[in-house]
Amino acid sequence: MSKENRISKTGPPAHLIGAEGVAHQVFHDAYRESKASWVTARPQPAVMTALSRGWFDDGPLLDLGCGTGENAAAIATARKKLRILAVDAVPQAVEQARLVIAAASLTDRVHFEVADLRDFKAMEPFGTVLDAGVLHVFSDQDRITYLEMVTRVLRPGGTAIFIEFSDAETRPRGPRRLTRGELCSALSLAGFTIDSIEPTRYETTVHSGGAAAWLTRAIR
Tell me: the pLDDT tens digits for 16-34? 555 655 666 877 787 888 8
pLDDT higher than 80, residue 7:
no
Contacts of 4 (CB under 8 A, 6+ apart): 13, 15
Mean pLDDT of 68-85: 98
pTM of the model: 0.89
**Domains in the chain, start-ordered, CATH in brackets?**
36-219 (3.40.50.150)
Q: Is 45 helix (H, G, I), strand (E, B) or coil?
A: helix
Collapsing DSSP to helix, strand or coil, 150 comes out as helix
Residue 35 has pLDDT above 80, yes or no: yes
* pLDDT tens-digit series, residues 82-138: 999 999 999 999 999 999 999 999 999 999 999 999 989 999 999 999 999 999 999
pLDDT over 60 at 5, yes or no: no
pLDDT number for residue 185: 97
**Digit-coded pLDDT (tens) for 163-179:** 999 999 999 888 999 99
User: H-helix or E-strand containing 140?
Assistant: helix 140-153
